[in-house]
Amino acid sequence: LVRRGVALTPQEELFAIQSLYEIGEIGRGRKSLLWLLTKQNAPAAAAAEFSLREGARDPARARQILDIMFERHPDSFAVLEILTQLDLANGKSKEALARLAAVRGAGPDVLMLRGATLARLGYTKRAEREVLRAFEANPQLDGALELLLDIYRSQGSLETTQQTFTEAYAAGVLHVGGQQLLGRILIERGENERAREIFEQIVEESPQPLSARSDLAVLLAQSGTDLDRAMALAEDVQQLRSRDSNAVDAVGFVYLKKQLNEAALHQFQYAIELAQMNEKPVAPLHEYHLGLALHAMDRSDEASAAFKKALALDPDFRGADDARRLLDAPSTDTTSRS
């Protein structure tokens, strides 16, 4: 386009820069990115890109660019998120919280970031309020269900929360997001049959949330009933949310229950890769499920490594007891014996 005399927009220039980095033209990419950042109309995403590509090599400059860009674009969530992560990593929690609190008209993403930051710092009550506000505004928000469960678990309030949500559900006043959260709490507490009833109702009455279909698929697979339906549900969600690590993990779990171990293994590996690509924490369940697939394939040493990773991420995650049991079981790894 440039050779034809077409002027690229700043966003198109950023696309070109990303392409240079991806094909290994690091020097050209860096030079072009620095040039783009000198422009007053540079997109906020350019600062995030510099932090991603050059932050490890030049952290001071990356931070300076982020600060300048956030002054220009205080509504940029990508820049806000990176600045928050940097402050927390450098022990500047007060600065991170102050910046988050100053955001006016905070949308669900910002509320979620506030909640995650507060939870990380141990302010679980304040974190709960922020994440609930985010969740009510957007029940489809990635990570909201998982973060709320983590908060309730750390508070030791899963039972009381379940009771409150159950009463609202029985009265018919619990919105679909709350129903899904109740279902997740029931799964957490081992009440899978009741959880399945709730997810069946959600799937029957609403095309959203898609993650409820993944949850139902996993529950069907766990019970060993209607594995074909479980596969159809899980694969449908994966087609619509192909970069959602939880959706990919659900497909893998169904494959595992259908004894398609190799296919399951690839799905679990991809789920972990997706979480890392999206700069999200790897869920201990993903590592645990990877371990189950490896164990089913008699690759016990690799399975043990996966179980240990899962327990290191969270020693109390759902499945932790089974991971410990399998770790203590005698090795059947034929490759290690040979």
Query: What is the residue-wise DSSP string for 75-115?
Result: T-HHHHHHHHHHHHHTT-HHHHHHHHHH-TT--HHHHHHHH
Confidence at residue 331, expressed as pLDDT on a 0 to 100 scale: 59
Residue 274 or 334, more confident: 274
Is residue 323 within 8 A of residue 291, CB to CB? The reply is yes
What CA–CA distance (Å, rounded) separates 33 from 5? 20
For residue 44, what are its two tokens? Answer: 């906020």
Q: Residue 91 CA to chain centroid, in angstroms? A: 24
| Statement: residue 168 has pLDDT above 70 | yes
Which is nearest to 99 in space by CA: 127, 77, 121, 119? 77
What CA–CA distance (Å, rounded) separates 202 from 65? 45
Mean pLDDT for 301-315 is: 94
Confidence at residue 280, expressed as pLDDT on a 0 to 100 scale: 75
Q: Kindly report the pTM of this predicted structure.
A: 0.76
Confidence at residue 338, expressed as pLDDT on a 0 to 100 scale: 27
Classify residue 286 as left (phi > 0), alpha (psi -120 to 50) or beta: alpha
Length of the chain: 338
Reported as a single tens digit per residue, the pLDDT across 181-227 is 999 999 988 899 999 999 999 999 877 778 899 999 999 999 987 89
Is residue 112 within 8 A of residue 146, CB to CB? The reply is no
Mean pLDDT for 85-103 is: 93
Mean pLDDT for 233-250 is: 91
| Statement: residue 46 has pLDDT above 90 | yes
Mean predicted lDDT score pLDDT of the chain: 90
Mean pLDDT for 129-145 is: 86
| Statement: residue 155 has pLDDT above 70 | yes
Is residue 283 within 8 A of residue 245, CB to CB? The reply is yes
What CA–CA distance (Å, rounded) separates 252 from 202? 22
Confidence of residue 298 (pLDDT cuts 50, 70, 90): very high
